[in-house]
Chain A
Amino acid sequence: MSETTGQTAPPEQTAPTEQAQATNMMDHLGFTSGQGLQFGMYSLGDHLPNPADGSRVDAGERIREFIGYAQAAEDAGFDFFSVGESHQEYFASQAHAVILGAIAQATSTIRIGSTSTILSTSDPVRVFENFSTIDHISNGRAELVAGRASRIGLFELLGYDLRDYEELFEEKFELLGRINREQRVTWSGKFRAPLNSAEVLPRPAQDPLPIWRAVGGAPTSAIKAGLAGVPMVMAHLGGTTSSFKPTVDAYREAARHRGFDPATLPIANAGFLHVAETSQEALRGLYPHINEGMKRSNGQGMPKQLFAQAVDPHSIVNLGSPQQIVEKVLHQHEVFGHQRYLGQIDFGGMPYEKVMKQIEILGSEVIPAVKKYTVSSTPQATSAMNANTAEEVAR
């Protein structure tokens, strides 16, 4: 690990000053106030048919559903709601910032954000303007999660070359960070016109605007988030909780290597969530949506054998009875020491009323228990570090 980062790391002397000026995102987002693990909901913005009868609401209704979810999540005591950007078939969230503007207006306390904004194919100036505006509409509740896209259709649609896949994101993400930190930006790069002492307005209500980096399961991208000293949202489709620990470790190690204190950097953990009376019922309730939804959006479904393992207490998929979900979320929290959990509840044409029922049960039975067991007087980052040490000792 350290060898890998050692080879890719630019000179370290720039780190201390940068780090001294960097905002402690853990404090900034209120993760050190001892309120316990934050619980959120995210939608990719998919617009898929219900596998039970093949029916699909129209795009307008689907977009209004996202707004309804956010309001219900706020009422149920969720801390966060987000919607993703996607330009492919079977999605309705191409203009996710517009949807978030409506959500900002329709809610009043829940934090809202993107999971994820595809930064590679947008202009960071425009992205910042949008999110800064959402931040004002929401009175300082907006967050941005920047991602690289798992699909390439949008590169063609929006006029970018897929061969620049990596560099497009890295350059734009760096620029976005500078716009966020600096009142006036002088910058030049490969993928947009230079900025000459440019003031990007409006300045957000929060200073700075919380910007996260979206990370898939593999450590490579987590290392980049760590080296940049930005919070990380780690998303996954399934697998064993412990298999994602190396990603979390790599993130913290990379941050430390670059002179950032990992205790200042929040982590969010995001994946499928489905609650039912029993785990068997949860499997039955979710499987057709995942399988058919993935067939349509990815070209391949999910084998039942793999999906059946989601009931295991050590699976990262949070599926089961309210009690089982509480135990899983707490186990994941013990392993990762993360600050926020994000559940994906509405994937694959799940009917609106079923999603609303999920939100209600989670709010009444799961969230209070999760909070109860994670509330502490000590900052969570400290317990995360302790968890690391404990695990190392156990090994």
Chain B
Amino acid sequence: MKLVALSGSNVGTKTRTVMEHLTQTVMVQDPNVEATLIDLAEVDMVFSDGRNFTEYTGDTGRVTRALMDADVIIIGTPIFQASIPATLKNIFDLLPVNAFRDKVVAMVATAGSAKHYMVPQQQLQPILTYMKAQVVQPYVFIEEKDLLRGQIVNNDVIARLDRLVEDTLVLTQTYASIREAKNAAYGF
């Protein structure tokens, strides 16, 4: 199983801190998962110009291919202006409309306060659903007060992340086995 943890912002470190923790959690829960962390702050991405994702070169080509090859994606996003950051939206614009077909996608948000706790559901989830993702229903919303100097300092957040990873991996395996049985039943 290939998993990509995507840290969706090129500003700040809170989302990155959480995504690093998540990647560790994945490896602890299932060492067989091939987990990759992509931090959009560390790659040089071009804006989407409408071409097929296979035709991008450099970091853009590497990131789009990694996402398309993944079985499961965990997206970490900060909240910018009551929505997701432009860097993350650009990732979606770079991919085909059915990019997340047969993939499980989970969401984690980091924010300065709790005021925008519905943003993942109202801004991010509709995009993922449009792109045919099987979205993990629960998501984890993390506030600034839960983090200190590159560490998660709220045990409840750690517990919620543990559950999110577990749900994500279980769902990925479940959908994979359903798909396998269904595809076998077609007889071609």
Given contacts A280-B188, A299-B96, contact A304 B183 (CB under 8 A): yes
Instruction: Select B68's contact among A150, A300, A304, beta carbons within 8 Å.
Output: A300
Q: What's the minimum C-beta distance from B118 to chain A, rounded to whole angstroms?
A: 32
Interface membership of B102, Cβ < 8 A? yes
Interface membership of B187, Cβ < 8 A? yes
Interface membership of A308, Cβ < 8 A? yes
Collect the chain B residues with CB atoms within 8 Å of residue A151's CB: 51-52, 55
- Once the chains bind, are A305 and B182 in contact (CB under 8 Å)? yes
Instruction: Select B188's contact among A152, A287, A298, A300, beta carbons within 8 Å.
Output: A287
Q: What's the minimum C-beta distance from B38 to chain A, rounded to whole angstroms?
A: 18
In Å, the complex CA distance between A268 and B101 comes to: 32
Q: What's the minimum C-beta distance from B179 to chain A, rounded to whole angstroms?
A: 9
Collect the chain B residues with CB atoms within 8 Å of residue A299's CB: 52-54, 68, 96
- Once the chains bind, are B183 and A298 in contact (CB under 8 Å)? no
Collect the chain B residues with CB atoms within 8 Å of residue A152's CB: 49-52, 55
Given contacts A280-B187, A284-B188, contact A303 B51 (CB under 8 A): no
With A162-B49, A298-B54, A308-B188 given, can you name 9 additional A-B contacts, CB distance below 8 Å? Answer: A152-B51, A152-B52, A152-B55, A280-B188, A287-B188, A299-B53, A300-B68, A303-B101, A305-B182
Interface membership of A16, Cβ < 8 A? no
Candidate in A150, A151, A162, A304 with the most chain B CB atoms within 10 angstroms: A304
User: Please, what's the 1-or-0 string for B14-58, where 1 marks a CB less than 8 Å from any CB in chain A?
Assistant: 000000000000000000000000000000000001111111000
Q: What's the minimum C-beta distance from A66 to chain B, rounded to whole angstroms?
A: 24
In Å, the complex CA distance between A304 and B98 comes to: 15
User: Please, what's the 1-or-0 string for A284-306, where 1 marks a CB less than 8 Å from any CB in chain B?
Assistant: 10010000000000111001110
Q: List 22 A-B contacts (CB under 8 A).
A: A151-B51, A151-B52, A152-B49, A152-B50, A152-B51, A152-B52, A153-B55, A162-B49, A162-B50, A283-B186, A284-B187, A284-B188, A287-B188, A299-B54, A299-B96, A300-B96, A303-B101, A303-B102, A304-B182, A304-B183, A304-B188, A305-B182
Collect the chain A residues with CB atoms within 8 Å of residue B54's CB: 298-299
Q: Is the interface of A mostly helix, strand, loop or mixed?
A: helix
Q: Which of B86-110 contact A (CB under 8 A)?
A: 96, 98-99, 101-102
User: Please, what's the 1-or-0 string for A368-388, where 1 marks a CB less than 8 Å from any CB in chain B?
Assistant: 000000000000000000000
A residues lining the B interface (CB < 8 Å): 150-153, 162, 280, 283-284, 287, 298-300, 303-305, 307-308
In Å, the complex CA distance between A112 and B101 comes to: 39
Task: State how many residues of chain B have any CB contact under 8 Å with chain A.
Answer: 18
Which residue of chain B lies nearest to A311 when distances are taken between CB atoms in the complex? B188
Collect the chain A residues with CB atoms within 8 Å of residue B53's CB: 299
- Once the chains bind, are B102 and A162 in contact (CB under 8 Å)? no
Collect the chain A residues with CB atoms within 8 Å of residue B98's CB: 300
Given contacts A153-B55, A298-B52, A299-B68, contact A304 B186 (CB under 8 A): yes
Which residue of chain A lies nearest to B96 when distances are taken between CB atoms in the complex? A300
Collect the chain A residues with CB atoms within 8 Å of residue B188's CB: 280, 283-284, 287, 304, 307-308
Collect the chain A residues with CB atoms within 8 Å of residue B55's CB: 151-153
In Å, the complex CA distance between A158 and B175 comes to: 44
Collect the chain B residues with CB atoms within 8 Å of residue A283's CB: 186-188
Which residue of chain B lies nearest to A298 when distances are taken between CB atoms in the complex? B52
Q: What's the minimum C-beta distance from A281 to chain B, rounded to whole angstroms?
A: 8
Candidate in B51, B102, B188 with the most chain A CB atoms within 10 angstroms: B188
Collect the chain A residues with CB atoms within 8 Å of residue B49's CB: 152, 162
In Å, the complex CA distance between A284 and B186 comes to: 9
User: Please, what's the 1-or-0 string for B48-75, where 1 marks a CB less than 8 Å from any CB in chain A?
Assistant: 0111111100000000000010000000
Q: What's the minimum C-beta distance from B99 to chain A, rounded to whole angstroms?
A: 8
Q: What's the minimum C-beta distance from A121 to chain B, rounded to whole angstroms?
A: 14
Q: What's the minimum C-beta distance from B49 to chain A, rounded to whole angstroms?
A: 6
Which residue of chain B lies nearest to A162 when distances are taken between CB atoms in the complex? B49
Which residue of chain B lies nearest to A296 when distances are taken between CB atoms in the complex? B54
Which residue of chain B lies nearest to A308 when distances are taken between CB atoms in the complex? B186
Q: What's the minimum C-beta distance from A183 to chain B, rounded to whole angstroms?
A: 39
Q: What's the minimum C-beta distance from B52 to chain A, rounded to whole angstroms?
A: 6
In Å, the complex CA distance between A304 and B183 comes to: 6
In Å, the complex CA distance between A280 and B185 comes to: 12
In Å, the complex CA distance between A299 and B68 comes to: 8
Q: What's the minimum C-beta distance from B157 to chain A, rounded to whole angstroms?
A: 36
Collect the chain B residues with CB atoms within 8 Å of residue A150's CB: 52
In Å, the complex CA distance between A160 and B183 comes to: 43
Collect the chain B residues with CB atoms within 8 Å of residue A162's CB: 49-51
Collect the chain A residues with CB atoms within 8 Å of residue B182's CB: 304-305
Candidate in B53, B54, B98, B182 with the most chain A CB atoms within 10 angstroms: B54
Q: What's the minimum C-beta distance from A16 to chain B, rounded to whole angstroms?
A: 38
Collect the chain A residues with CB atoms within 8 Å of residue B186's CB: 283, 304-305, 308
In Å, the complex CA distance between A304 and B186 comes to: 8
In Å, the complex CA distance between A237 and B144 comes to: 49
Q: What's the minimum C-beta distance from A202 to chain B, rounded to whole angstroms?
A: 37
